[in-house]
Amino acid sequence: MTDLAIASIGLVAGLMVGLTSIGGVLVLPGLVMLLGLSPHTAIPAAMVSFIAPASIVLLIVHRRRQLDLRAGASVWLGAVPGAFAGAALLPWVPVAALLWAIAAMLAFSAVRVFARPPVPGAVGKSVPGRQLALMGLFVGAVSALTGTGGPITLMPILGWRGVEPRRAVMLCQAITLPITIFASLGYAYGLDLDWRLVAVLSLSATIGVVLGMAVAPRIRVPALARIIGAMMAATTALLVARLLGG
């Protein structure tokens, strides 16, 4: 295992987070399948390492005034108790069944994106605050139960509700930080984290996030939607491989 390989994984994942909000899912298979780390080491390190990139994302989105603060607050309001509820329910919920459901949802959403691409200039639908809070509650719980990032679950839901892709990315990026923080607290308790691994991943992912967010505004909505669809399809493949591999 070399720092260069770890940094490459973090950079690619961060770049995709900056572009589409979906990218953190690439870290775990990269560390486990390519570098041979155990999931016990990789999962908490990956989660803790994304606190800094998620914070940078939220700061950039806020400074650009691209995020509706009420919408973001509604998502946070649901995500925090959802993450706690998911952690409490973990011993009694069949996680594999949830992951299969997420994979099916992502696959359907990816097909839908390519079959019905957004029209340039079209105004997406708005979602009431209560519904966003309920979405956050659901996404927070699923993330805590499965160890997956919030955007993996939230992005297809927003797509089904007709939310414009660029706004959907912003909301997904907003939900990442609370889930990352509270999941990290749970993972870090009683575990010996590999802080060198965390540092290299965190730095490289932060650089990737900044680059991705610099490029994202230059990408037209239909192209962005296709990139999101491709990421959902790739995530589906990773989840299925994880499930079939035991």
pLDDT per residue as tens, the chain (246 positions): 588 999 999 999 999 888 888 887 788 778 877 888 877 677 778 888 888 998 998 888 888 877 777 888 898 899 888 877 876 776 687 878 877 888 888 888 888 878 776 655 545 677 888 999 999 999 988 887 776 778 888 888 888 888 888 888 888 888 888 888 877 776 555 566 788 899 999 999 999 999 999 998 888 878 888 888 888 888 888 888 878 876
pLDDT given for residue 101 in this prediction: 85
Spatial CA neighbour of 25 closest among 206, 155, 148, 197: 148
Within 8 A by CB and 6+ apart from 42, the residues are: 27, 28, 31, 32
Handedness of CA 133, 135, 140, 145 (dihedral sign): positive
Handedness of CA 242, 179, 52, 195 (dihedral sign): negative
pLDDT given for residue 202 in this prediction: 94
What 3-state DSSP class applies to 194?
coil
Instruction: Give the CA angle between residues 26, 14, 46 to the nearest 5°.
Output: 55
Are residues 197 and 44 in contact, defined by beta-carbon separation less than 8 angstroms? no
Spatial CA neighbour of 166 closest among 116, 122, 102: 122
d(CA 171, CA 70) in angstroms, rounded, equals: 11
What's phi and psi for 153, nearest 5 deg?
A: -90, -40
Tokens for 239? Answer: 């989840």
Tokens for 241? Answer: 């491989």
Question: Each residue of 19-55: b (16+ CB within 10 Å) or e?
Answer: bbbbbbbbbbbbbbeeeebeeebbbbbbbbbbbbbbb
pLDDT given for residue 240 in this prediction: 87
d(CA 10, CA 106) in angstroms, rounded, equals: 23
